[in-house]
Structure 1
């Protein structure tokens, strides 16, 4: 049994530990490090599409001396940003895969992960956030906290965005500086801590010039500095006491304390949050063992390169050196660290060792995303697994030429291993290869990558929604599987109840062994569970997967000679078929959270569009002549939504969509699906009849 570590590095429950990146140079001499471990920071840059994540990373790399010149995401020089190394990323101007890099800033090592903004690539964000200490949240100065950002539009309003951060997200946020001018007239910032103006001269702003605060901003700067102090006092006892005593904190005190702001977003109790790896409590099965020197790492991302599989790893404890041996906590397999590198987008730098807090990459490691590694084979220590959402859209896929099947197989093998939300399987009923993912764009990108990277053009069919089937009320089963045909026979009986799970658990299935006594020997229970799982692959109504049910095995019978695994497995099949015939079943469909925004003049069109798509309007908001609507819409009704939205709003409307939950489908939808499924069964039966006739 493996004990899971309750990691302290969950993004929104950790302090905002990136001071070495954003504190201006003149503050550096005031920061003192107790040890080398405190000089390592792992941060992510997160935002919505086109909000500037990759652009910000490009500036950080330039000012830290990692790149010689800055390039735009959609630059006309055909070079593109450093972190968008994939050809499709440069072409589309979006981030598809998370990319890692590192910088050194005044003795501090800062590992940075640039993540995608599109919800279709959610797993790239999920597993990146899993290994970070903190994050920079980038918000559009115009759109703020909303669903999208239109490029090259005017109307930046930092004050309004700050209010949205406080109200919509609930962060205890405050300005650290104020812009001097907006948009094209931006000339510098007012530093609210030092109470000075900072101007960035030169072609790329590399020449820093200090001055007094402009006379027309003195009053505003004083007010915003007071807001900053009040915000810090809400999360820091020391500053809070000064505030109550009406004493002003010094600049040095503000510099040290202002990074506690983010912590209050999720947890006001500072004492529960250990700030460094050394202070995190480790839990092992043998508490007497001194595990401080045991290496513990988490493989959070896989990538295939010409040198083999590249495994991105976060080191949580100890250190790993090139040539060391370590063990996979899941498989217990021993592997050798033959090559250890540090990533800079798609470039690699060989290193000899990685320390606690580092993000590195290894070659030649056969593992899955989310596996933990240790250097002590006897240690049952493991990190928390990475959350992987279930795919919501499926499409048929086929190659344009039979000659490219080998390349197609290689591409599928690679992509499904790299991305756990991308699935592929053969549907024997419709005789088609089916790929599943998080959205149309997700599958479209992989189709294009097959052509570009493997010279394997493919054709994607119409998107198919991942419907599910579930039980409405409990149904009893009592099934005896008995077969006698000379020699050893088959005998297995299962008795129990199949019941629905609560709606909040309707995406999973449970198996419960409630037997007692010798009627069903323990060694046959796994076979019964296997039979149950197999029957859940295809439901009785529309042939989709069954979920949200619990198989309660309460009793049964066995035969001393004829009982075996296959007998009880088939008995479980029969029990499920009984439940199919006597139980009441229904279809579940994925419901998506949809956020639509457009100029306020199109408010009526947006509401009408959502209503026609059988959406449930949850909230509306209007700000600065922009109308935003939040709703829940069945995924089955969302196809073609983008085209209709842009037509109604003359191209000015945008939307985002993400999975919310599974919910019962409407009666008309369920009936249509059942009729279509029955028609497919009739056609298959007719084909089988025709084949038999030809043979005869």
Structure 2
């Protein structure tokens, strides 16, 4: 289990997450050749498997993959940067043990970096920082480091520094091992170690001292050595960095440029050296006791043994080529192909027909997975955030994922009226997959209203509708029902005559309508001041009902509603189909 790392790569838009992941897969031998995001060859990066992602050059869905580096198994989730797809980052960080926060050397800490930082804090995820794009004009890793201290309030220090910047970047200096590294070969796959260049020795010495001080502030053992003025060995420093990083008291900062293939291998080494394995992270399940309102937390046992009962969390759903794909993080025990597991939310028993490990959109069948693994199941009916266990009696649930509120709404309808079935099928699938994408039908305007995290979010779903379901859609502003009321008292003496064959209709009603004070706008006061039987008793409730019905904006034609009163109300307003009496009033019938 100590040979496993579950990491996520997250950052602000265009910091180079997907490019970095592509290099990681290439250097670990997972892919045979490198392709660029929105590259000239039109292939696109491995992790951006959706056609829309390749076309736009952005990541829309987080994609999982696994790879091996120095005999360690690394599960990687590449997440989107746009705030519109923030749920993808949220649920990735919920199930990961560590993360790599990527910063652009020019942009530094940007707005979405702060959001990602908040999400890491919420799920208590230790992280490394990688300052990317040192080849860009205006690259300034020192400024990015200072922003991490001032804007994000982190205890950070360089673990390696660049030899030259922008076009002159030749390699990097490893401050822990005190040596320089050069990346040679057409794709930087050959690493040559050398001494620190003479003109960088003073800077390297200062930066190493700064690193020791920052770690000593966060780690007791190194702190004591520092106070006793002992010089820590490289192994002491490494162990101290790991302890401080795992406890989220420190974040090591690495530098490089993924596009120019420099600094990626030291980052992979740092992931193994400093980020926690599944046994070092405490995960709790909540035990819901039916007989009491109290809940108790149970610590999950991360040992990779089949003896423990299985507990897993379905953190993401995706409709693949072969049906619904459910991403599961295993927290305890072992899951085997063909076994039965229980959904603790629905109490349903399901069979694991197919168990796969993922590499972007490719799959690899496996027979069993253990605690700490990330895998996917096929044909399991569940929702995002459901917990699965191997025991029926275990009423466990893993802590839920934070889902932000929607911020924007639009109306959406299929361009072709015959596509209604495809439209509802697509909408159902998208709402199951994405908890931040919400849909409701507005009964007043007769429109389907979709809500999400931003314009890009809704636009992407509209385009996916057309591509995946062949159902082009029209999007627009939601219509708003226009409401108005009377401003002063109005008396009425209304006669209704209708002769259309048969006995005909005749009715006359006299009375007064007056507005109530604005604080009583949810009330309706009805008063009957008729004398004798000039309005027959059985019609009075119908008059009241028609008034109330009209007030609620329901222009309904029902037999038990007084037609005379309704027609009078309609005559008060110019366009009765759109305008409704809304602020309430006092109605009195006199005659």
The two structures share one fold, judged by TM-score above 0.5: yes
Q: 1:680 to 1:399 in 2, by over 3 A?
A: farther
Q: Does 1:169 align with 2:152?
A: yes
2:234 is matched with which residue?
A: 251
What value does the CA root-mean-square deviation take over the aligned residues?
3.1
Q: Does 1:276 align with 2:255?
A: no
Q: 2:578 aligns with which of 658, 683, 686?
A: 683
Whether the 8 Å contact between 1:180 and 1:190 is mirrored in structure 2 is yes
Q: 1:448 aligns with which of 433, 438, 463?
A: 463
1:156 is matched with which residue?
A: 139
Q: 1:220 to 1:352 in 2, by over 3 A?
A: same
Q: 1:172 to 1:680 in 2, by over 3 A?
A: farther
Q: 1:278 to 1:319 in 2, by over 3 A?
A: farther
User: SS at the partner of 1:254?
Assistant: helix
Q: Does 1:224 align with 2:207?
A: yes
Whether the 8 Å contact between 1:393 and 1:463 is mirrored in structure 2 is no
Q: 1:306 to 1:283 in 2, by over 3 A?
A: closer
Q: Does 1:303 align with 2:286?
A: no
Q: Using the alignment, how far apart are the partners of 1:41 and 1:169 within structure 2?
A: 25
User: SS at the partner of 2:158?
Assistant: coil
Q: 1:179 to 1:428 in 2, by over 3 A?
A: same
User: SS at the partner of 2:218?
Assistant: coil
> Is there any run of 5+ residues in structure 1 with no aligned partner, and where?
1-36, 466-538, 542-573, 582-677, 687-696
Q: 1:369 to 1:266 in 2, by over 3 A?
A: farther
Q: Using the alignment, how far apart are the partners of 1:400 and 1:360 within structure 2?
A: 38
Q: 1:212 to 1:464 in 2, by over 3 A?
A: farther
Higher radius of gyration, 1 or 2: 2
Q: Using the alignment, how far apart are the partners of 1:170 and 1:290 within structure 2?
A: 30
Q: Does 1:351 align with 2:315?
A: no
Whether the 8 Å contact between 1:100 and 1:343 is mirrored in structure 2 is yes
Q: 1:682 to 1:302 in 2, by over 3 A?
A: same
1:405 is matched with which residue?
A: 420
Q: Give runs of aligned pairs for residues 108-123 of structure 1, distance below 5 A.
A: 108-123=72-87
Whether the 8 Å contact between 1:395 and 1:460 is mirrored in structure 2 is yes
Q: 1:182 to 1:274 in 2, by over 3 A?
A: closer
1:506 is matched with which residue?
A: none
The structural deviation recorded for 1:39 is 1.4
Q: Using the alignment, how far apart are the partners of 2:349 and 2:285 within structure 1?
A: 23
Q: Give runs of aligned pairs for residues 41-440 of structure 1, distance below 5 A.
A: 41-147=5-111, 154-263=137-246, 265=248, 276=279, 284=287, 293-440=308-455
1:31 is matched with which residue?
A: none
1:525 is matched with which residue?
A: none
Q: Using the alignment, how far apart are the partners of 1:113 and 1:385 within structure 2?
A: 19
Whether the 8 Å contact between 1:170 and 1:265 is mirrored in structure 2 is no
The structural deviation recorded for 1:455 is 1.1
Q: Using the alignment, how far apart are the partners of 1:278 and 1:432 within structure 2?
A: 47
The structural deviation recorded for 1:403 is 2.1
Q: 1:291 to 1:299 in 2, by over 3 A?
A: closer
Whether the 8 Å contact between 2:180 and 2:194 is mirrored in structure 1 is yes
Deviations 1:358-400 (A, max 9, x none): 0000001100000000001001121011111121111011111
The structural deviation recorded for 1:462 is 2.4
Deviations 1:297-323 (A, max 9, x none): 000000012211100000000010001
Alignment TM-score, normalising by the size of structure 1: 0.60
Deviations 1:631-683 (A, max 9, x none): xxxxxxxxxxxxxxxxxxxxxxxxxxxxxxxxxxxxxxxxxxxxxxx999862
Whether the 8 Å contact between 1:340 and 1:350 is mirrored in structure 2 is yes
Q: 1:165 to 1:333 in 2, by over 3 A?
A: same
Whether the 8 Å contact between 2:65 and 2:75 is mirrored in structure 1 is yes
Q: Using the alignment, how far apart are the partners of 2:335 and 2:143 within structure 1?
A: 47
Whether the 8 Å contact between 1:190 and 1:198 is mirrored in structure 2 is yes
> Is there any run of 5+ residues in structure 2 with no aligned partner, and where?
114-131, 252-275, 290-295, 302-307, 481-519, 523-544, 553-572, 582-591
Alignment TM-score, normalising by the size of structure 2: 0.70
Q: Using the alignment, how far apart are the partners of 1:422 and 1:307 within structure 2?
A: 23
Deviations 1:247-286 (A, max 9, x none): 1111112222213444565699xxxx99726865666469
